[in-house]
Every structure is written in structure tokens, then in C-alpha cells.
Amino acid sequence: MVAVTLWGSLRALTDGQAEIEVEASNFKEVLTALEQRYPALAPQFERGVSMAIDGVIYKESWATPVRPDSEVVLMPLMVGG
Amino acid sequence: MSKTHVTTTINGTRTEFLCEANETLLTVLRDRLHLTGAKEGCGSGDCGACSVTLNGRLVASCLVLGVEAEGAEITTVEGMAEGGELHPLQQKFLDLAALQCGVCTPGILVAAKALLEKNPDPSEQEVRYWLAGNLCRCTGYDKIIKAVLAAAADLRGAA
Amino acid sequence: MALDEYEKRDFQVIGSRPVRPDGIDKVTGRALYGADAVLPGMLVGKVLRSPHPHARIRSIDTRAAAALNGVRAVVTGADFGEIRKGETRNVAENAMAFDHALYDGHAVAAVAATSEAVAREALKLIEVDYEVLPHVTEIAAAMAPGAPVVHAGFVEDSVPDGFSENVTARHEFGHGDLEAGFARADKVIARTLKTAATHQGYIEPNACLASMGPDGRGDLWCCTQGHYFVRQLCAEIMGIEESRLRVTASEIGGGFGGKTTVFVEPVALMLSKKAGAPVKLVMSRNEVFRASGPTVSSEIDVKIGMTRDGRITAAEAELRYQGGAFPNITVMFGAMAAFAAYDLGAVRTVGYNVLTNRPKQAAYRAPGAPMAIYAVESVVNELCEELGLDPLEVRLKNAARKGTKSSYGPTFNDIGLVATLEAAQAHPHYRAPLGPNQGRGLSCGFWFNFGGNTSVSLSVDMDGSVSVTEGNPDIGGSRASIAMMAAEELGIPFERVRAIVADTASLGHNDVTDGSRVTFAVGLATIKAARAAKKELCKRAAMMWGIDEEAVTWENGCAKPSGPNAGSFEPLPIEKIARKSPRTGGPIAGHHEVNAEGAGVSFGVHLCDVEVDPETGHTKILRYTIFQDAGKAIHPDYVEGQMQGGAVQGIGWALNEEYIYGKDGRLQNPGFLDYRIPVASDLPDIDTVILEIPNPGHPYGVRGVGETGIVPPLAAVSNAVSHAIGTRLYELPMSPPKILKAIREG
Amino acid sequence: MESGNMRYLAPKTVTEAAQLLADSDGIARVLAGGTDLLVQMKAETIAPDLLVDIKHIPGMREITAEAGGWRIGAAVPGAHISEHAGLKADWPGVVEAAALIGSTQVQGRASIVGNLCNASPAADSVPALVAADARVQITGPKGTRDCAVIEIPVGPGKTTLQRGEIVTAVLLPARTGIGADACLRFIPRTEMDIAVCSAAVNVTLDESGRCSAARVALGAVAPVVLLVEEAADILVGSRLDRATLERLQSVCSKAARPIDDKRGTAEFRREVVGVMARRAARLAAERATAKAGEKA
């Protein structure tokens, strides 16, 4: 299991949960597992999300591996500048 | 409407062109003579990107009419290098990284050359005030001022 | 893992200061920018703009204009009617109003004519029937109940009930128990701070030259930070496949985020399509200010609690940004960045995006961060003043470092904040004496930095020189840094590498030049492409020598046997291998395509001394020093240049730059005369100290450096002014009337 | 720029120029430096049918000594004025005021007559010309006349010049006794801005070092330049000491009738124009005292 931290705005869509444990081994699987549990997250995922894995921000790379001890933080997709 | 025939000298070369009476010298240089080194950053004399000299005086070519060039001597950035030899200001701008996007660079070089011809040994403050009409948004001016001062020193050394 | 990219090594080329490859063209006037291109039969495009901040367009009569001799095409919003949804629709509607004019300067029609004079005459003949609607240009007014609705239909589900329809999104970040944190504080300060909208102020107005053929294939030349994105937007707007449109990025005369999207490009393409001829469309400076993409204005509530010994116990901020009549995510960046410099047990930020009748904002250097960090760094300094603490010591005490859980979520890896703070503390500037009416301020700054999609192709030419083809417009000297990285990796002199920016048909996709991503991401791809080429070079050398490929290594631009067992051969230089390449398998090249991840954040600290004239409120910047972590400075001159340029933009923001709207909703200062960017005589030298804390995500340790530099000046200048006059301002810009008023009201 | 039927003519005499302007049945404008006119044409706030370029008329680009004072031709650019040592010695305030107009590039073209005739309340050189009691020479269809500079502007963009009249020169009077002038303006930056407010002070000292005559003019604090006689009265008879200058400051602030606009608030202008006047007076006094020292 991987513990995924959600950013503040998403917590309204997960019954206030800030951290959710899911079964996943990469970026994509984390999203799929979260979406299954909380379908309300789908529109936000569609708009785009980044994922910080052990402090490194991945914009969209779905195959990026996630280990059970990884720190996984969901973040909004960042573009512009 | 009829165009006016103008005979002038640009970078030492006798040049003729036809233009409307209300066309600016900048438009003539860029669109009629294809000397696009001078840039239009504002069209109102506030940015200096179109700087050229007119009879030895630094001017904003967006605030000069093409027809006023009749019989005049004009120099632009295209006339700074002689053959393949860069002017010391151009060389210092390269060596000291005094440009980034480069769109203000032609105007600043023309303006700086006019300064050094008038005052070969300017203080930093004099350079900064002389160039106050040449806006640069990339560099914060620091390296530009240093390059002008370094070129001035070189030119004095060579003289 | 991307984290393991970095390896320590001694550099030959990296860190030196060669002349940039585009330099000669730029000092001789040869470089071609957006407005410098011409095509045979080219027409001149001109745009008619709304004088009203908000109006319904009842009808547009273009018949007289179309009938004018010399007019070849007229377009209005009706020509752009079939765009589907999302951001592309917003971009299209911003480029040409559909049924409502949403701000002063919003395009409502355009013409293409044989000359500028005819085009101007034609614009006067277009009759627009406006129904003028109530407008709102300020944040508080737009959020108020009953405010005129600027642009309906954008409210996201994140916005709770009870807000005006102009509030389109709510973003929240943070962790920890705020209540408990504030309870532990010895001093809590809560303030509201405001910043005005500013413009990137690039000197080159937006410009393009469009040519659409009758077969639906087109070419577009424009000054942009991202020609692939331009292609994507324009192709979708024009209803054609991306491959049908080739976009070439001209030299770009400054962007700073403002040229990451399109304004006139779709209009020029549509005019060209209708006219059947190329159309050049160049914005005037007035149009640039009124109708390109300035940054947001902001109102920010900040509350911070601190113990007597300077430890921050809790921190909270609500940020309200307006960025014009279309939604944007800038406030989200602000909410993420606000407290990034601090190691906090309890922190929460909430951001609201607000629509107003102003132009659609575009990115501006570290978008959203400068105003947020200005607010935070002002309140931190005020706490230091109240508690009698040294502001630098307090920042060191609370600084984010490796292992800190950031205020926006992830835990920081190697970061350079503590190193920059210590460098500032050790610098003579920090201890230099100050005179009467003088003050010193400091502020931290931060930007995330991006990676992103990148393609690079590197070819070893037949004489052994090297061409690097990249797809990111060079806005700050990146061709130099990219060529340097290729030269370093190949072990050849910088002069033997030429980097060019390819058009969209000549290389795979590249994300926009944004987020300080190019030296990091394109550099990474270039190094990988060079490594691929090296591998091929070794293979060819092995073939020439008749030995095993694995027995060849690459060193200083030459193939060498990897050891005595491999055989005894003289090193084979790149040019010899290249010349023989037709006999060993054909051309030699390397390429790399990647969605680059692992961009490292960059922190900076600025020190600023000012002198304020107590009788006029005029502020003079006396001394300015920047400390910033670059990871690894590839070309230190241009790293310094990025820092200096960013700092001066921030100084302008702090002191004099602002969008001023009248009660009539019209922009009062659309020109460089009254939109006051710093001029050379306003400034002292801008000193720089580059720190190099390697980014683990890049082979050479590079971090983006372009954006962080604009963040600290806002609070550094404000803190310096406060120090000089003994009272604090809570609003930018600190123009002289405001400072004098603050002095008088003490 | 605007539609293509504008005519441009460069006559060789003033009479011819005046006649062209008088005979024109559309919008006619004099072109000297063009640094205001071309900006207005670009912005389409004016679309002249005729431009009369006066730079080819003899004398228009010359500075000449005349009747103990100076004649500055109507097309003399600011840069030329700044380079003129004699003018600078007599009228340092006028020279520094002329140098305030725009950038180095604008200085290469802009004339003080153009600055005056553009009739902006914030015109940089006008307060110094008024403080100097300068006059202008005017040629029109009815002949030549001259009048005080202060009588030219009557409101923003409006002058007393009649149709066909051309200002041909500024006449600076001879200095009587030991005197000097100074001009300061307030702008938010250090260059390139329109004046938020400005002040020019011209003083004459008697042999004992007392002020025997003075003129004080304020810019950008009313629709036209203000000549503040009450301020001059304070200076006359004084040694331009600190207390006197502080009274001057207060009187000037009271005399100002500014407005709020994007460049500053009325309150700010009123306060700062007094500061500018006090500082300009001090500078003028220092210059005059230095001259007295040179003579002694």
C-alpha cells in the first residue's frame, strides 16, 4: 500500500481525508485507485494533476514507479511562466 | 496621393526612396529600405529601440518623418561594423554578455556610440542618464553599463 | 530514477563564458524578430478594439470596410464561431470577441489591407453596435454580492456556495493544526496586502506573419516562447490538423511569460485564409498594454504567529487574484508558493480566482509567486520588528531545508535556501553602514521550476562539427547553454557546436519555454542526445579499428581503446570518425525525447538598500545584492543576467509599475510613458552571488534560474522602505504619493 | 500613421511659412522637433492636412546673443541648448529645464518653443522660461509681434496664437546684476516621466547679497504655468535664508491648484511643489552667490 497525500482542495471530495492508502505501483495506478474510491476526483484528474514522488514533481509521467515507502503527494498540474 | 522623393545618406551611402509625407523615418528604414535593425518598441519615443543618428544627433527615428531625411546624414546599427570588423562597443557587448533578447541592443549601441563620440570618458552616472531613454527589460542594465564603460576605456586606449 | 541523474565531475566548458552564438546577429541588427519578416504580396493586418470594458455586441457592420479599395479581408468573432471548449475556446474568444466585449481593448474585428493607411481607414468604417453593460475591474468589487457578472459559466465545483459568480475557483494547500500553532505564538500579526497588476514589459510588441494556403496548409512566423503550443492553439482554432500548420519562432524580443500564448496569431491566420495572401499583424504598444496578457492584481490576507525567540508556530493566508475576464490558475501557484521558504508545522493557504473586466492575464515570471511571497515576507519582517529580532536570523531559524515538508505538500530534497541565507549573512552588504533616510530590506524568493516535454536532435556533421536542433525559443541565452552542454558532453570546443531552434515541422514536440525549464530539460535532453551520439561514435571507431564496440571509450572529443587489452590505437578524433562515416554505416546523430522530470526548486535571497526622500516620497535604490541557487551555472554571465533582469522587474513592480484603470473601466496608462518600468538611471549595479547546490535530477546539477529572481524584490524593497521611513506600507507599487502619505500618517 | 493625403512643406522664409499656415483650409501644424506632434499623429488624436517644417528657415536652429540676452531659434533642439556655454552661464535654470524634456533621443529634436506651443500644463521648460521673464517672437499674416511666454498657453492644448502665427524664437532678457535661476521637477523615476509638479526660481542679488528681484513659477499644478508673485515678494529683500525659503515653500503649496490624476494626487502635488520651489530657490541662490564670488 502507498500513502497518498492530497492537496487541500481535494479533501472536500474525499470526505475530508487528507491521506489515503491505495494499492499502486506507479503514477497511473495511484490515480486509478483513487478515482475508483472517490469518483468525485475524476473531473480534477481530467483537468490535470502532478505527483510528487519522494520530493520530485512529475507532471504527467504515468509509468513513474511508486514504492510502498515512497512519499506520494498529489499536486495540481503546473503550467505557465 | 503622391509620394515624395527623398535623397539622403544612410551609413555613408547615398540612398533614394519614395515615401508618404506622414511616414516616419523608422517606417522608411524598416519597410522601404529593409534596414530592420532599428525596432519599433513603442512608436512614441519612449523606448529608444529605434535610435539612429540624424546629422550627428541621436534621435528616435519613430519621431522623425521620412521626408525630413532629405539631404541628411543618417547612421543606423547596420553601419556600426566596418566590413567584418565589429565596433568596440559591439565587441564589448558580446564579451560582457550585455544583451539577452537583443531587441533593445541596436538602439542602445547607436545611443552609446553617440555618447562616446561626444564624451569619451563618461562616468557611470553619465552613461546611465544618457541611456535612460533606451529601455531594456532583460538585463537590469548592469552588464550594459559595464560594457559601455569598458568599450569607452578601450577606445581611449586605442586613441 | 531521475533523482540519480547527477554525477560530480570536472567541467571543461560548463562554467566558462563564451560569446553567445546569436550575439553577432543581435549586435549588428541582422537578427530577425517578429515584425522583421516579409513575404511577397504581404498584407497589413489591423485590429479594431472595444472602447468599452463590458458590452454586448449587438451587431457589426463591416460592409463599408470590406468595400474600401485595398481591403482584402475582414474578420469578426463570427469567423471563429466553431471552437469547441476549454482553454482553446478562451484563447480564441480573447483573440476576437464572440458576442461580448469583455475589457477595454478586446478585439472585435480585424482587417487585412494593402497598406497600413488603408487598414486604419477601414477600421474606421466598421460599425459596431454595442449595448454597454456594467463593468467591474477591481477584486473586492468583483467578489461583492450582486457584482456585474463578467463572464458566466466558469465556476468550478471547488467554489463553495455564496460567492459571486466572478469567483471561479478555490485552491487550498497546507497541513497541521493551525489553531494549536497560533495558540503557541507569543505574537500573531494579521495583515492585508495588495499588489497592482503589472505587465511583462517586453520591448518587442507581439507580432506575426501568417500565410494560409487554399489547401488548408499554413505557415506562421511569430515571436513566441512556445511555437509548438502556438501551433496547437492555432490549428485547433483554424480547424486544421497540427501537421498542416508550420510555426517558426522568430528571435523573441522578450517574453517573461507573456508570450506563452497567442493574441494576434489566430487573427492573422484567419485574415490570411480569407484574403488568400500573407498577412503581417503587429501590435502597437498601446495594444500590447490593453490587450496582451498582463499579470494578476492581488489582495492577500496573511496571518503568522511567532514565538519570542523567532520560531514561526503557524501561518495562514487567503489570496484573491484577478486575472481578467477568463479563468486562470495563477492564484493556485501563489497559494502553493507563499510559505515555501519556511519549515512549518501548521500552514494553510486558500486562493480564489476572480474574474474582472480586464485583459486575460498571461504568465509573468514565477506567476503568482511574487505577490504571495511579498505578503508573507512583509509580515515576517513586521514580526521581527515587533519582537526585536534579526530578520535574517529568523529566516535561518525557520528555513526550509532537505527533509522539510513543504507548505504545498512534498518533502524537499537538496535545496539551497540555507546556503543562500548564510551567503547573505556573510556578505559585506549585510553589515554595511546606512545613512539618514536609508533602510535595508531582505526577502526570500522561490520558484518550483518545470521540466516537461522535450525533443533534441544532435547531428555530427561530416567534418566533425556538431549541430544541435532544439525546439524551445531562446529567451535568455539558451542556445549558448545548450551548445555548451553538447560540447562538454562530447569533449569538443564550444565553437564547434551550433545550436538552432527548429520550426514545428523539423523536430518533435517541445513544451513552451516556461517555468525556467529550458536549461534544465533541453539541457538534459541534449546531454542524452550527445551520449547517444557518443555511443554511435564509439561504435564507428570500433569498426574502423576492428575491435569490439565495448572496448572503446570516449574522452576529450576522441574515441580511445578502453584499456591495454582493447588494442593499441591512437585516439580517433570526432572529425576523423565523421569523415569516414559513409563507410561505417552512414550519418552519425543522436536524439532524445523525454518528458523531463526532476526539475529542482530554486531559492534566492535579495538584499536591498534604499534612500527615501522624506519630503517627496521618492525612493532611490542604493545597493542591491542577489544570492541565488543555480544548481550549476552553465554560462554564469547569463545566469547573472537572469537574476539581474528578474530583480529589476521586481524593483519596478515594487516602486512604480501598475495598471491604472479609471472609473470608466479604461486603462489609463497604456504606454511606456506612464507605465513606468525602471530606466538605467534609476538603478545601481545589481550584484550577484551564485550558489551551486546541485539538483539531483540533472546530470550536471542544473536548476532553472529564470524566475526566482523576480520574487524577492517586492518585499525586499518594501522592507527597506519601511526601515528607512519607520512605517510600513501594505500596498504595491510604493509610488511616491503613497510613501509620502505613509510618512505623514506615520 | 494617418491617411496619406497630408502635405509636407519646408519653406525657406518665415513669411512664406506663415502664409502657408494661413492659407491652409484644413488642419495645419508647424513641425519643429516633432516630438509631440508625431506622437499625437501616431495616436490619431490629430490628423494634419499640412505640416510646415520650419527647420530650413535661416535662424531657426541658432542660438544668438542679442541685446545682452539670448535669442533661441524655434527649432533649436534641447541638446544644442545644453551644449551652449554662454546660455548656460546666464540662464542655468532655463538650460536645465530644457534638458528635462524627454530622453537623450528626444533632446536631439525637441525644442522649447514646441514645448511651449504644445501647451501641456506639465511642460518641462515653461516654468523656467516664465521665471526668466522670457518673451517669444511671433510672425503671422499681420506681421511680427512679441509677447511674454506666460501669455501663450491658456489651457491644456490651447494657446493665444492666431491662425497662421508662428513662434520664431524665444528671447531671454539680459541679466541685470548678479543673478541665477534653477528649475526642478518631481517625477517618480529619474528620467522619462511627465512632470508631476515642477518649480523654477530666478533671483537677482544686490551687492550686499540680498535678493533684489525674483520670479517664481510653478508647473503641473494648474491648467497653465503659475507665476506666483507672492512667492517672489517673500524672496525680495531677504538673504534667501532657510526661514525665508520655508515660507516660500508654504506659499507655493498654497498657490498650487492641482488635480488628482494617474500621475499623482492633488494633495501630493500641492505639498511637493512647495518642496521643489524651496530647493530650486536654494539652488538658484547658490548659483548666484557663486557668481558673486567669481566677480569679487
Set of chain C residues whose Cβ sits within 8 Å of the Cβ of B29: none
Give the residue from D6, D120, D268 with the most C CB atoms within 10 Å of its CB, the best one to mutate: D268
Q: Do D2 and C674 touch (CB under 8 A)?
A: no
ipTM: 0.97
Set of chain A residues whose Cβ sits within 8 Å of the Cβ of C168: none
Set of chain C residues whose Cβ sits within 8 Å of the Cβ of D191: 679, 681-682
Q: Which residues pair with A72 in a beta bridge?
A: A4, A53
> Domain A2-76 belongs to what topology?
Ubiquitin-like (UB roll) (3.10.20)
Interface of D with C (CB under 8 A): 1-4, 43-44, 186, 188-194, 196, 262-265, 267-268, 271-272, 275
Residue B83 neighbours by CB under 8 Å, 6+ apart: none
d(CA C179, CA C182): 5
CA D155 to chain centre: 15
B70 CA: distance to closest CA in chain C (Å) = 23
Nearest CA in chain D to C122: D3
- CATH architecture, range D63-172: 2-Layer Sandwich (3.30)
DSSP chain D: ---TT-EEE--SSHHHHHHHHHH-SS-EEEESS-TTHHHHHHTTS---SEEEE-TTSTTTT-EEEETTEEEEETT-BHHHHHT-HHHHHH-HHHHHHHHHSS-HHHHTT-BHHHHHHTT-TT-SSHHHHHHTT-EEEEEETTEEEEEEGGGSEEETTEESPPTT-EEEEEEEPPP-SEEEEEEEEE-SSSSS---SEEEEEEEEE-TTS-EEEEEEEEESSSSS-EE-HHHHHHHTTS---HHHHHHHHHHHHHH-----BTTB-HHHHHHHHHHHHHHHHHHHHHHHHHHHHHH-
For C339, counting Cβ atoms within 10 Å of its Cβ (0-12 exposed, 13-18 middle, 19+ buried), the class is buried
d(CA A2, CA A25): 8
CATH number of D178-295: 3.30.390.50
B103 CA: distance to closest CA in chain D (Å) = 17
Contact of C630 with C642, CB cutoff 8 Å: no
B23 CA: distance to closest CA in chain C (Å) = 10
d(CA B19, CA C349): 60
**Residue D35: which of B63, B70, B114 has the nearest Cβ?**
B63
Residue D4 has pLDDT above 80, yes or no: no
- Cell numbers at C672, concatenated: 511606456
Beta strands in C335-429 (DSSP E): 347-354
Touch test D–C: 3 Cβ pairs or more under 8 Å: yes
Residues within 8 A of B (CB atoms), C 82-121 only:
117
CATH number of D7-53: 3.30.43.10
pLDDT number for residue B1: 56
D189 CA: distance to closest CA in chain C (Å) = 6
Residue B80 has pLDDT above 70, yes or no: yes
Q: Do C172 and A55 touch (CB under 8 A)?
A: no
Report yes or no: D293 at the B interface, CB cutoff 8 Å. Answer: no
d(CA A38, CA A15): 9
Q: Which helix (H) or strand (E) holds C719?
A: helix C712-725
Q: Tell me: the pLDDT tens digits for C529-587?
A: 999 999 999 999 999 999 999 999 999 999 999 988 888 999 999 999 999 999 999 99
**Residue C19: which of B95, B129, B139 has the nearest Cβ?**
B95
Q: Beta strand C572-573 with C588-596: parallel, antiparallel or unpaired?
A: unpaired
User: Which residues in chain C show pLDDT less than 70?
Assistant: 1-3
Report yes or no: C712 at the B interface, CB cutoff 8 Å. Answer: no
d(CA D80, CA D72): 10
Nearest CA in chain D to B68: D53
Nearest CA in chain A to C513: A81
Q: Do C451 and A78 touch (CB under 8 A)?
A: no
Q: The dihedral of CA C503, C507, C512, C515: what is its sign?
A: negative
At C724, is the secondary structure helix, strand, or coil? Answer: helix
Q: Do C363 and A80 touch (CB under 8 A)?
A: yes
**Residue A75: which of C257, C260, C409 has the nearest Cβ?**
C409
Contact of C339 with C317, CB cutoff 8 Å: yes
Instruction: Find, among D59, D103, D54, the residue nearest to D78 by Cα.
Output: D103
**Residue D191: which of C121, C655, C679 has the nearest Cβ?**
C679
Give the residue from D198, D271, D278 with the most C CB atoms within 10 Å of its CB, the best one to mutate: D271
For C66, counting Cβ atoms within 10 Å of its Cβ (0-12 exposed, 13-18 middle, 19+ buried), the class is middle
Report yes or no: A3 at the C interface, CB cutoff 8 Å. Answer: no
b/e sequence C515-550, b meaning 16+ C-beta within 10 Å: bbbbbbbbbbbbbbbbbbbbebbbbbbbbbbebeee
pLDDT number for residue C2: 41
Total count of residues recorded for chain C: 746
In chain A, the percentage of residues whose pLDDT exceeds 90 is 53
Phi, psi of C589 (to 5 degrees): -155, 170
Nearest CA in chain A to C361: A80
Q: Tell me: the pLDDT tens digits for B81-94?
A: 998 899 999 999 99
Provide mean pLDDT across the span D31-48.
96
pLDDT number for residue C707: 94
- Cell numbers at B93, concatenated: 557587448
Set of chain D residues whose Cβ sits within 8 Å of the Cβ of C654: none
Report yes or no: D71 at the B interface, CB cutoff 8 Å. Answer: no
Q: Do C332 and A76 touch (CB under 8 A)?
A: yes
- Cell numbers at B108, concatenated: 542602445
Q: Do C27 and B90 touch (CB under 8 A)?
A: yes
The 3-class secondary structure across C43-62, one letter per residue, is EEEEEEECCCCCEEEEEEEC
pLDDT band at D270 (very low <50, low <70, confident <90, very high): very high
Q: Do D5 and B1 touch (CB under 8 A)?
A: yes
pLDDT averaged over every residue in chain D: 96
Set of chain D residues whose Cβ sits within 8 Å of the Cβ of C735: 188
Touch test D–B: 3 Cβ pairs or more under 8 Å: yes
Neighbours of chain C (3+ CB pairs under 8 A): A, B, D
Set of chain C residues whose Cβ sits within 8 Å of the Cβ of B101: 202-204, 251-255, 475-476
Contact of B74 with D67, CB cutoff 8 Å: no
Domain boundaries along the sequence of chain D: 7-53, 63-172, 178-295
Domain boundaries along the sequence of chain A: 2-76
pLDDT number for residue C157: 86
Class of domain C2-31+451-596 as given by CATH: alpha beta
Report yes or no: C294 at the A interface, CB cutoff 8 Å. Answer: no
Residue D2 has pLDDT above 80, yes or no: no
pLDDT number for residue C41: 96
Nearest CA in chain C to D194: C673
At C281, is the secondary structure helix, strand, or coil? Answer: strand
Set of chain D residues whose Cβ sits within 8 Å of the Cβ of B134: 103
**Residue D104: which of B23, B46, B133 has the nearest Cβ?**
B133
CA angle C553, C557, C558 (to 5 degrees): 50
Report yes or no: A39 at the C interface, CB cutoff 8 Å. Answer: no
Q: Do B137 and C645 touch (CB under 8 A)?
A: yes
Report yes or no: C203 at the B interface, CB cutoff 8 Å. Answer: yes
Residues within 8 A of B (CB atoms), C 537-596 only:
none
Q: Tell me: the pLDDT tens digits for B35-63?
A: 999 999 999 999 999 999 999 999 999 99
- Cell numbers at D57, concatenated: 528657415
Q: Tell me: the pLDDT tens digits for B87-134?
A: 999 999 999 999 999 999 999 999 999 999 999 999 999 999 999 999
